[in-house]
């Protein structure tokens, strides 16, 4: 791959210049998390690259709402045991406000897509099957049951049971799709005969009364929806996996060329491994949009080639956002985001400002004092909300601080050299020092005072925060009220009468 170009642009070059349908989808069995976002953002990036190249393209999203509820997941109540095996579209909504179980998890996800400026055409599997779109491919699969079984055995190297059938019927009595077996079919009538473990048996139309098994369904939807490009996880790309069997079924049964594959790696949540809705190892997209701008969340995914895994640590979000802000001069990233709110203020500094000031007016004063006088008001307001949410939910202890109203008791542990250094620093600041120069001034004063810079920084943080570490010292000190800062440094240095009470910022 050409390292000088973005991976999505290279994909656009690799596919023929014709009409393309890029497909993505998910089974809404639980909270749709940012691990799932890798697929949809990857698909959207490919879609935009095709559009930028002047190629006719469409982005679609398929929700597998006919997939069964496989078990009572840890986040469900025990009474969901009676619904195990039923299609998700037929399982009650956990909160009682949505049409069904699937919609309960799809709704916040689709709202998040809007905020991410991703606008696919949405398909729900139970609606596609219900209106008959899959009847022709289902009847073709039923007629070619033996050929499909042979393909599955040859590719996956596993034995297919004698009674296997490519179609799963929804039982008319118990409503389950996992406990039925097809016993016959009538191609002319478009019906199947079935029996269920619950004792029910009968004949039903294929239309709206079941779903093709996963590997056959995937290949059939390529044909039904005209899919030409599709990203999917590495589990489907293994030798003998779903894509290999789908390729054979697509070509040999449906006479359709399989889509161009974009194989992606997982997003790992630090300390917990790959994200999974069923295990509850998740960080939802909605949660992330509370603590970071949508464009930065997109950047998390599109900056990395799909075949490389992403390590995600919510406690390091501030670093990710600052990296994104530095990278937005690159044309490709800007084209990926239509409504990017430019901010010249590092997110890291907003984390400092929010913990110094009690309200938005005070934050503006902090920003002015630290040298940020021109900025987009809308961006700052939104990012202040992001910062506040991040501080509550994900910030590590090392990022949290509180400016002490009075001189901390911990200053009694400072050495004479540290005290002298603080007094010298106050004298130098009194004459006026720009925010960008304060950090270098600390080094100069520490050298003059005969102590290490590390000891000098510890003395500053101890006098202001009551602990030995804190935010970047230069901009932090510049963010404070000048008189408060001078009084506190003098008091901590032993040369002032004031207890160093903080002004209301």
Q: How far is CA 420 from the centre of its chain?
A: 49
Backbone conformation region of residue 480, classed left if phi is above 0, alpha if psi is from -120 to 50, else beta: beta
pTM here?
Answer: 0.85
Dmax (CA) for the chain in angstroms is: 99
Q: Record the tokens describing residue 261, joined without a space.
A: 């594959």
Backbone conformation region of residue 125, classed left if phi is above 0, alpha if psi is from -120 to 50, else beta: alpha
pLDDT of residue 505: 40
H or E stretch including 195? strand 191-196
- Among 96, 123, 105, which residue's Cα sits nearest to residue 24? 123
* Main-chain phi, psi angles of 211, to 5 degrees: -155, 145
**CB 215, CB 11: distance < 8 Å:** no
SS3 12: helix
Distance CA 471, CA 356 (A): 11
pLDDT, tens digit only, all 505 positions of the chain: 456 688 888 888 888 778 999 999 999 998 888 888 899 999 999 999 999 999 999 999 999 999 999 999 999 999 999 999 999 999 999 999 999 999 999 999 999 999 999 999 999 999 999 999 999 999 999 999 999 999 999 999 999 998 899 999 999 999 999 999 999 999 999 999 999 999 999 999 999 999 999 999 999 999 999 999 999 999 999 999 999 999 999 999 999 999 999 999 988 887 776 766 656 567 888 889 999 989 899 999 999 999 999 999 999 998 999 888 888 754 334 334 444 445 678 899 999 999 999 899 999 999 998 888 778 888 889 999 999 999 999 999 999 999 999 999 999 999 999 999 999 999 999 877 777 788 899 999 999 888 999 999 999 999 999 999 999 999 899 999 999 999 999 999 986 444 444 443 4
Mean pLDDT over each residue of the chain, to the nearest integer: 90
| CA distances, 143 to each of 77, 106, 138, 205, 249 (Å) | 41, 34, 9, 15, 13
H or E stretch including 387? helix 377-393
């Amino acid at each position: 791959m050409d390292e000088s170009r973005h991976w999505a642009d290279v994909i656009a070059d690799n596919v023929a210049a014709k009409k393309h349908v890029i497909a993505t989808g998910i089974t809404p069995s639980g909270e749709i998390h940012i691990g799932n976002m890798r697929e949809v953002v990857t698909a959207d990036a490919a879609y935009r690259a095709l559009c930028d190249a002047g190629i006719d393209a469409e982005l679609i999203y398929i929700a597998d709402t006919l997939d069964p509820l496989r078990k009572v997941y840890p986040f469900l109540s025990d009474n969901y045991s009676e619904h195990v095996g039923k299609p998700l579209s037929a399982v009650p909504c956990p909160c009682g406000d949505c049409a069904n179980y699937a919609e309960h998890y799809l709704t916040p996800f689709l709202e998040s897509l809007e905020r991410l400026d991703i606008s696919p055409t949405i398909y729900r599997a139970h609606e596609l099957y219900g209106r008959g779109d899959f009847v022709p491919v289902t009847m073709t699969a039923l007629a070619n049951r033996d050929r499909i079984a042979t393909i599955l055995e040859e590719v996956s190297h596993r034995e297919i049971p004698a009674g296997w059938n490519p179609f799963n019927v929804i039982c008319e009595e118990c409503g389950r799709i996992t406990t039925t077996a097809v016993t016959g079919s009538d191609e002319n009538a478009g019906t199947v005969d079935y029996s269920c473990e619950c004792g029910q048996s009968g004949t039903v139309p294929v239309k709206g009364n079941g779903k093709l098994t996963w590997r056959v369904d995937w290949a059939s939807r390529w044909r039904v929806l005209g899919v030409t490009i599709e990203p999917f996880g590495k589990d489907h790309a293994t030798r003998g996996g779903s894509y290999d069997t789908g390729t054979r079924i697509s070509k040999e049964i449906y006479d359709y060329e399989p889509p161009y594959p974009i194989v992606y790696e997982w997003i790992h949540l630090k300390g917990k491994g790959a994200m999974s809705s069923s295990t509850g190892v998740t960080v939802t997209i909605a949660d992330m949009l509370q603590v970071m701008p949508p464009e930065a969340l997109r950047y998390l995914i599109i900056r990395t080639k799909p075949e490389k895994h992403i390590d995600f640590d919510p406690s390091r979000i501030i670093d990710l956002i600052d990296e994104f802000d530095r990278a937005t001069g690159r044309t490709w990233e800007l084209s990926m985001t239509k409504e990017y709110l430019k901010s010249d203020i590092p997110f890291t500094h907003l984390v400092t400002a929010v913990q110094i000031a009690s309200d938005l007016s005070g934050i503006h004063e902090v920003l002015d004092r630290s040298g940020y006088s021109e900025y987009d008001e809308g961006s700052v307001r939104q990012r202040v909300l992001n910062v506040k949410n991040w501080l509550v939910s994900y910030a590590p202890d090392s990022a949290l601080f509180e400016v002490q109203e009075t001189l901390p008791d911990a200053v009694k542990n400072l050495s004479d050299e540290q005290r002298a250094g603080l007094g010298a620093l106050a004298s130098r600041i009194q004459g006026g020092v720009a925010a960008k120069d304060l950090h270098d001034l600390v080094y100069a004063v520490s050298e003059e005072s005969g102590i290490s810079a590390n000891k000098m920084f510890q003395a500053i943080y101890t006098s202001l925060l009551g602990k030995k570490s804190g935010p970047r010292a230069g901009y932090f000190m510049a963010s404070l009220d000048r008189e408060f800062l001078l009084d506190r440094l003098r008091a901590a240095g032993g040369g002032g009468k004031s207890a160093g009470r903080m002004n209301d910022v």
